[in-house]
A and B are shown apart, each in its own frame.
Chain A
Amino acid sequence: MAHEIIMPALGMAQETGRLVAWLKNEGDAVSKGDPLMEVETDKSTMEVEAQKDGFLVNITAQANTDVPVGDVVALIVESLDDAPPRPSPSSPSPEATEIAATTSDIVPKTPSLPAEQSASLPKIQANEKIARKPVQPALVSNQADGKILASPKLRALAASENLDLSNLRNAGHPEPFKAADLFALRQLSNQSHGSLRSTATSLIEKNSFHIFVSEISAFNTEVSIEVIFASFIAASLRQYSGDDIIGISYKSGKMLESVLYLNPDQHQLADIVVSDSDIPVMAEICDLTSTDFIHLSGDTHSDIIFTISNLADQFMITLDWQPNKLPQSDALALLSDFSMRVKSPLKQLL
Chain B
Amino acid sequence: MREITFGAAVNEAIAEEMRLDNRIILLGEDVAEAGTPFKVLSGLVEEFGADRIIDTPISEPGFTGIAVGAAMTGLRPIVDLMFGDFLFLIMDQLCNQAAKTHYMSGGKLSVPMVVRTNMGATRRSAAQHSQSLHALVAHIPGLKVAMPSSAYEAKGLMKTAIRDNNPVVIFEDKLMYNDKAGVPEEEYLINFGEANILKAGTDISLIATSSMVQQAQLAAKSLAERNISAEVIDPRTIAPLDEDTLINSVKKTSHAIVIDEGHQNYGVTAEIAARISEKAFYYLDAPVQRLGAMDVPIPFSPALEDLTVPTAQQIHDRAVMMLEGKI
**Residues of chain A whose beta carbon lies under 8 Å from any beta carbon of chain B:** 131, 134-135, 137-140, 151-156, 174, 176, 178-180
Whether A156 touches B289, Cβ cut-off 8 Å, given contacts A134-B265, A134-B295, is no
A139 x B325 contact (CB < 8 A): no
8 further interface pairs, Cβ-Cβ under 8 Å (given A131-B294, A151-B285)? A131-B296, A134-B264, A135-B264, A138-B287, A139-B321, A154-B285, A176-B325, A178-B286
Q: Does B318 reach chain A (CB closer than 8 Å)?
A: yes
B327 x A152 contact (CB < 8 A): no
- For the complex formed, measure the closest distance between the CB of A153 and the CB atoms of chain B, giving whole angstroms: 4
Q: Report the stretch among B1-9, B47-55, B227-235, B276-284 that lies at the interface.
A: B276-284
Give Cα distance in the complex from A155 to B294, angstroms: 33
- Would you mind naming 11 contact pairs between A and B with Cβ atoms under 8 Å apart? A131-B296, A134-B264, A134-B295, A135-B291, A137-B321, A139-B326, A139-B327, A140-B326, A153-B284, A153-B285, A156-B283
A151 x B284 contact (CB < 8 A): yes
From A131, A151, A174, residue with most partner B Cβ within 10 Å: A151
B254 x A179 contact (CB < 8 A): yes
- For the complex formed, measure the closest distance between the CB of B218 and the CB atoms of chain A, giving whole angstroms: 19
Closest 3 CB pairs of A and B: A156-B282, A151-B285, A153-B285
A178 x B285 contact (CB < 8 A): yes
- For the complex formed, measure the closest distance between the CB of A127 and the CB atoms of chain B, giving whole angstroms: 11
Q: Does B292 reach chain A (CB closer than 8 Å)?
A: yes
- Taking CB atoms and an 8 Å cut-off, the chain B residues in 253-292 that contact chain A are 254, 264-265, 281-287, 289-292
Q: Helix, strand, loop or mixed for chain B's interface?
A: loop
Give Cα distance in the complex from A151 to B287, angstroms: 8
B318 x A137 contact (CB < 8 A): yes
Least CB separation from A132: chain B residue: B294
Whether A152 touches B282, Cβ cut-off 8 Å, given contacts A137-B327, A139-B326, A140-B326, is yes
Least CB separation from B296: chain A residue: A131
A155 x B282 contact (CB < 8 A): yes
- For the complex formed, measure the closest distance between the CB of B301 and the CB atoms of chain A, giving whole angstroms: 16
**Residues of chain B whose beta carbon lies under 8 Å from any beta carbon of chain A:** 254, 264-265, 281-287, 289-292, 294-296, 318, 321, 325-327
Least CB separation from A155: chain B residue: B282
Give Cα distance in the complex from A135 to B321, angstroms: 14
- Which of chain A's residues have a CB closer than 8 A to the CB of B265? 134
Least CB separation from B295: chain A residue: A134
Least CB separation from A157: chain B residue: B282
- Which of chain B's residues have a CB closer than 8 A to the CB of A151? 254, 284-286
Partner of B327, one of A131, A140, A174, A180: A140
Whether A134 touches B292, Cβ cut-off 8 Å, given contacts A151-B285, A153-B254, A178-B285, is yes
Least CB separation from B287: chain A residue: A138
Give Cα distance in the complex from A139 to B285, angstroms: 14
- Which of chain B's residues have a CB closer than 8 A to the CB of A178? 285-286, 325
- Which of chain A's residues have a CB closer than 8 A to the CB of B286? 151, 178
- For the complex formed, measure the closest distance between the CB of B157 and the CB atoms of chain A, giving whole angstroms: 29
- For the complex formed, measure the closest distance between the CB of B276 and the CB atoms of chain A, giving whole angstroms: 11
- For the complex formed, measure the closest distance between the CB of B267 and the CB atoms of chain A, giving whole angstroms: 10
B281 x A152 contact (CB < 8 A): yes
Whether A137 touches B289, Cβ cut-off 8 Å, given contacts A153-B254, A178-B325, A179-B254, is yes
- Which of chain A's residues have a CB closer than 8 A to the CB of B289? 137
Give Cα distance in the complex from A152 to B327, angstroms: 13
- Which of chain B's residues have a CB closer than 8 A to the CB of A135? 264, 291, 294
Give Cα distance in the complex from A151 to B285, angstroms: 5
- Which of chain A's residues have a CB closer than 8 A to the CB of B254? 151, 153, 179
- For the complex formed, measure the closest distance between the CB of B105 and the CB atoms of chain A, giving whole angstroms: 41
Give Cα distance in the complex from A176 to B284, angstroms: 13
Least CB separation from A154: chain B residue: B285
B318 x A152 contact (CB < 8 A): no
- For the complex formed, measure the closest distance between the CB of A54 and the CB atoms of chain B, giving whole angstroms: 55
Least CB separation from B314: chain A residue: A135
A134 x B294 contact (CB < 8 A): yes
- Which of chain A's residues have a CB closer than 8 A to the CB of B326? 139-140
Least CB separation from A150: chain B residue: B285
Least CB separation from B294: chain A residue: A135
- Which of chain A's residues have a CB closer than 8 A to the CB of B291? 135
